[in-house]
Amino acid sequence: MADSNTSSTQTSSHSSVKDDRTCLDSGKVEFSEDEETLIIRMYKLVGKRWSLIAGRIPGRTADEIEKYWTSRLSSSRE
Per-residue pLDDT tens over the stretch 37-47 = 999 999 999 99
Write out the residue range of the structural domain in which residue 7 sits. Answer: 2-77
pLDDT band at 26 (very low <50, low <70, confident <90, very high): low
Question: 49: phi > 0 → left, psi -120 to 50 → alpha, else beta; which?
Answer: beta
The closest alpha carbon to 24, from 64, 54, 55, belongs to 64
The closest alpha carbon to 67, from 56, 58, 53, belongs to 53
What is the model's pTM? 0.60
> What are the b/e assignments for 31-65, b being 16+ CB within 10 Å?
beeebeebbeebbeeeeeebeebbeebeebeeebb
Domain count, the chain: 1
Identify the CATH number of the domain in which residue 23 sits: 1.10.10.60
